[in-house]
Amino acid sequence: MSYNPQDNIIFTEDNGIGVVSLNRSESMNALNWSMVQELRDHLLKWAESPAIHAVILHSFTDKVFCAGGDLKEIYKAQEEGDQDHLNRFIDLEYEVVRLIATYPKPYISLISGLCMGGGMGISVHGKARVVTSDTIMAMPEARIGYFPDVGASSFLSKCPGKSGVFLGLTGYQMNGADALYTGLATHYVSKENVPFLFGSLTATDIEGHPKDGVYAILDLFAEEKSPQISGIEQHRTFIDEVFSGETIEDIFVNLKLSKNQWRRKVEEYLESASPSSLKVTLELLKNTSKKPFDEALKMEVELAKKLMMSSEFHEGIRAAVIDKDRAPKWAMV
């Protein structure tokens, strides 16, 4: 299948495998409207095609998988007051999240490099999530005046103990071991073996038993455990004790009372976030923790449409990617 190497997202078919290649490295593979729309259209087509047995999502650069949604595009719409465009983008984004979560064929994400926000949305909901030694995963939305979206309230609620609350509030950057421990990843493959894994997935004939074939190949390359240390696992008792607080104020009090070596680092994470985003995020995670997937997504969509044009989110994007001064002026709550 021919393609334009200048495209931001490239779709190819190789021996019965649909391959999605993120190719916008100059913008850290940030997802804009056209990329998400093309992803939806190809996934729908491949779901119906008897010639496609599985889908692989990866990046053409191993430095970054996907840094999330295109914040500059969002900022432009905010500046122009284009709520309709932002609402359409939210609806499209969540259509893709639902599609991936219910995809009828094996959907494999090879997550090398940085994966945040929207990058988590197009990978973590799939059945197989492969991480490696250079994987960095995070949901840092509270630090830009927003909240962990793209189905995060669902996948964070499945993390052990209070680690999902911790991740949603702090935006902590997980390594491969953290991702495995929390269940956000399913397999760890050494960095040097990822190209061989990709080659095996696209070269092996799995037409007769695509699901079993995919997992047999993944198991062949996966290591029993990550050689890295999981900070979340190491500090799990501390995380559960601190983030069991019913309110943000409770969590800060719990931090002050703790003698754990991570205490100050976690305080710094929380102090850099928008106070209103912390409150919104905690309430969302509490309210969706036991809800079915579709209900959790519905709550997120309503919240996203409410906050997408907010001054707090606008200020967060300004400080992070427009002026890049890293000094947002948060509203006091």
In this model, does residue 1 exceed pLDDT 60?
A: no
Q: Which of 70, 73, 93, 141 is catalytic?
A: 141
Q: Does the annotation mark 69 as catalytic? A: yes
User: In the predicted model, what is the mean pLDDT of residues 57-68?
Assistant: 95
Q: Which of 18, 69, 145, 231 is catalytic?
A: 69
Q: What is the pLDDT of residue 207?
A: 75
Q: Which of 93, 149, 178, 315 is catalytic?
A: 149
| Residue type, position 270, single letter | L
The C-alpha angle 57, 154, 312, rounded to 5 degrees, equals 90
pTM of the model: 0.95
Q: Where are the domains of the chain?
A: 9-322
What percentage of residues in the chain have a pLDDT greater than 90?
93
What percentage of residues in the chain have a pLDDT greater than 70?
98
Q: What is the pLDDT of residue 62?
A: 86
- pLDDT per residue over 63-119, tens digit each? 999 999 999 999 999 999 999 999 999 999 999 999 999 999 999 999 999 999 999
Q: Does the annotation mark 149 as catalytic? A: yes
- 123: pLDDT confidence band, cut at 50, 70 and 90? very high
In this model, does residue 274 exceed pLDDT 60?
A: yes
Q: What is the pLDDT of residue 3?
A: 63
Long-range Cβ pairs for the range 212-221 (8 Å, 24+): 213/53, 214/54, 214/106, 214/108, 214/128, 215/106, 215/128, 218/108, 218/128, 218/130, 218/186, 218/187, 219/187, 221/187, 221/189, 221/193, 221/196, 221/197
- 2: pLDDT confidence band, cut at 50, 70 and 90? low
User: In the predicted model, what is the mean pLDDT of residues 131-143?
Assistant: 97
Question: Cα–Cα distance between 330 and 278 in angstroms, integer?
Answer: 12
Q: What is the pLDDT of residue 300?
A: 98
In this model, does residue 297 exceed pLDDT 90?
A: yes
Pick the CATH number of 9-322 from 3.30.450.40, 3.30.70.141, 3.90.226.10, 3.90.180.10: 3.90.226.10
User: In the predicted model, what is the mean pLDDT of residues 53-67?
Assistant: 95
Q: Does the annotation mark 118 as catalytic? A: yes
Round the average pLDDT of the chain to a whole number and report it: 96
Q: What is the pLDDT of residue 218?
A: 96
- Torsion sign over Cα 171, 238, 287, 121: positive
Q: Which of 113, 118, 168, 231 is catalytic?
A: 118
* Structural contact between residues 186 and 130, judged by C-beta atoms closer than 8 angstroms: yes
* Enclosing H/E stretch for 128: strand 128-131
Q: What is the pLDDT of residue 211?
A: 85
In this model, does residue 4 exceed pLDDT 90?
A: no
Q: Does the annotation mark 141 as catalytic? A: yes
* Structural contact between residues 231 and 136, judged by C-beta atoms closer than 8 angstroms: no
Count how many residues are written for the chain: 333
User: In the predicted model, what is the mean pLDDT of residues 203-225?
Assistant: 88
Helix (H, G, I), strand (E, B) or coil at 192: helix
